[in-house]
Structure 1
Amino acid sequence: MTARLTYAFDAYCGWCYGFGPALREFAAGNADRIALRVLSGGLFSGPRALPTSAYPHIPGANQRIAALTGVTFGEGYRRALNEGSTVMDSTAAATALIALRRQAPDRALELAGALQRAWYVDGRSLSDVAVHRSIAAGHGLDADAVADEFLAPATRREAESEFREARGLGVDAYPTLLLHTPTGTHRLGGPVSTAAALTEGLDRHLAPTE
């Protein structure tokens, strides 16, 4: 039996960046028995789409994330954070993921990670179409097609629809990993869970009941 999972994340969510390595390891280790969908959330959308300087808690949060998950924040990102003018627009980031995965639907988790590395390592704005061209080229995708999709109003509307879907699933924090079963939808693990812990949780939910 293939288990259906939804990963609700935001490309501008530091905890999602920290969770990424464990989730990718979990997904690779269980590829034969899970179907994983990546759903973007609107953490910094609408009136919350503001420059990084509007969120002074970020550096402290990053220290906790690094300490608890082991991820490294890049020098380019630290420069962008210190400069403070980059607007974190989750709608643009979600639009970019849709544009990228349109060509490679089965690589959505990989492409979500690429978006996060562009920001959290290189400090590049996810509102910049040139960033998405670069990601596309680096992953063997058609950069022109990705750019066209990213700039299309319909793609942005699709991103906003994903935000509503995430809220409809009860997602109120990121990252959230949901397991869909005949008995309902269950949260699996948390932002500091290891791949092994996620697998153990999956095993428990999928174990036959007597």
Structure 2
Amino acid sequence: MLSSERACLTYAFDAYCAWCYGFGPVVRAFAEDNAHRIRLSVVSAGLYTGARALPVAAYPHLPAERGTITRLTGVAFGTGYDRAVSRGTTVLDSTDAAAGLAALREQAGISELDAAEALQRAWFVDGRSLSDVEVYRGIAGELGLDVDAVTAAYTSPAGRTQARADFRTVRRLRVLCYPTLLLDTAHGADQLGGAASTAASLTSALDQRLTTPIPQVPIHEMPLRGESS
């Protein structure tokens, strides 16, 4: 790869995935450390869709998972999130969250990683439903975006169409768990690290990939299975 080129990476995440939230500081540090040589795209994986789009109470493992993620990654969950989990009524709908990411992603002047992190803060810190249009109004204001443009994009059918396109992309890339960070190569997608990686180990893996030829591996459609926990 020539020094003037930037490596393209795809970050498969879900705004409701607690492990993705725990991975957030690592992928942020990695992106900043390598900003001069990478382009990072964020796509939604679709953890809670279809029959899995259920109230929080349907997932009793979440409180224990919260403690494990904090212990392993150091991220802090907000009191708003704790209250939402305790109430158990918020429906986890990843299609709505993916439409929200798509609405933010199409605005000028925002990085896709900033948009993803804003969604994660809304849920894992404030405990706000990512199906609530007011959440996107607030995020747009926080990030200095056109509030009306963001909310119009979120509520339009095109937002759900883009959400489903993200899910298809994740399946095409054979992502079976997330968070997953992929290096886009001429021969397909090559995974870098995992949820337990550090920014330094991801940078080291990127260095190795950029200097080592990647064998061609055929890509086939596979069903999406969700996060690794």
Relative to the length of structure 1, the TM-score reads 0.96
**Structure 1 residue aligned with 2:186:** 182
Matched, 1:194 2:198: yes
The alpha-carbon deviation at position 207 of structure 1 amounts to 2.0
TM alignment of 1:39-58, pairs within 5 A: 39-58=43-62
The alpha-carbon deviation at position 104 of structure 1 amounts to 3.1
The alpha-carbon deviation at position 183 of structure 1 amounts to 4.1
Q: Which has the higher helix share?
A: 1
Letter in 1 for 2:102: I
Letter in 2 for 1:185: A
Letter in 2 for 1:131: V
Relative to the length of structure 2, the TM-score reads 0.88
| Closer, same or farther: CA 84–29 of 1 in aligned 2, 3 Å | same
Matched, 1:94 2:101: no
Equivalent position SS for 1:21: helix
Matched, 1:146 2:132: no
Distance between the aligned counterparts of 2:147 and 2:110, measured in 1? 18
| Closer, same or farther: CA 105–165 of 1 in aligned 2, 3 Å | farther
Matched, 1:12 2:16: yes
The alpha-carbon deviation at position 184 of structure 1 amounts to 3.5
**Structure 1 residue aligned with 2:134:** 130
Equivalent position SS for 1:191: coil
Matched, 1:117 2:131: no
Matched, 1:70 2:74: yes
2:89 to 72, 79, 85: 85
Equivalent position SS for 2:8: strand
Letter in 1 for 2:179: P
Give 5+ residue unaligned stretches, structure 2.
214-229
The alpha-carbon deviation at position 173 of structure 1 amounts to 0.8
Q: How many residues align?
A: 209
Letter in 2 for 1:199: T
**Structure 2 residue aligned with 1:108:** 112
| Closer, same or farther: CA 138–105 of 1 in aligned 2, 3 Å | closer
CA RMSD of aligned residues (A): 1.2
Equivalent position SS for 1:93: helix
Distance between the aligned counterparts of 2:69 and 2:109, measured in 1? 29
The alpha-carbon deviation at position 69 of structure 1 amounts to 0.6
Percent identity for Structure 1 against Structure 2:
57
Matched, 1:170 2:174: yes
Deviation per CA, 1:50-73: give whole Å up to 9, x if none. 000000111111111111111000
Equivalent position SS for 1:179: strand
Give 5+ residue unaligned stretches, structure 1.
none
The alpha-carbon deviation at position 106 of structure 1 amounts to 5.2
**Structure 2 residue aligned with 1:33:** 37
